Amino acid sequence: MCSSNLKTVIECYLADVRKGMVLFKEKIGDTHPLSAWRNGGLPQNGKLSENIEYEFHGIGCLLIFSDHKVDFDFGYGGRIDGFDLWRLSLFVESFSEKYPYYKNNDLLKRDFELSVKKRDIGKLDNPHCNLYYCLHDN
């Protein structure tokens, strides 16, 4: 199992991604947000709510909350539960008071690499997959 600190970071990061996707669904219905942007149905940046903005980039989106940022890529098959060390690092840095354990980025890297080694997190068996996913529910 991932360290409890890393597991908490991943769970909070993914919860914020899901929150953004719920707001996109309220705004544009069942259309995939990335498709909506690329087809002109959504501007590249805008507001999802009073205190959440978004900025599309490449195959991802930056969600800008009032007190932190969450950058994510849409994964293979439209998945939204992927992450990597860089994205988790940005998340932790913008939320440093919430995650003081990871004030030293080397600790986050160590826990991430250990979780990969233990196969708690990993990439999908797909050549187009560059994101990591939780491989276990706990």
Tell me the per-residue pLDDT of 92-122, one tens digit each, with 9 for 90 and over: 998 878 889 998 889 999 999 999 999 999 9
- Per the listing, tokens 């940046």 go with 45
| Contact call for residues 99 and 90 (beta carbons, < 8 A) | no
pLDDT in tens, 3-46: 689 999 999 999 999 999 999 999 998 888 999 999 999 999 99
pLDDT at 76: 85
Write down the pTM of the prediction.
Answer: 0.92
Domain ranges in the chain are 4-134
pLDDT at 2: 61
Residue 66 has which token pair?
A: 């009032």
pLDDT in tens, 68-96: 999 999 988 889 999 999 999 999 998 87
The pair phi, psi for residue 111, each rounded to 5°, is -65, -40
| Contact call for residues 94 and 69 (beta carbons, < 8 A) | yes
Q: How many Cβ atoms sit within 10 Å of the Cβ of residue 50?
A: 6
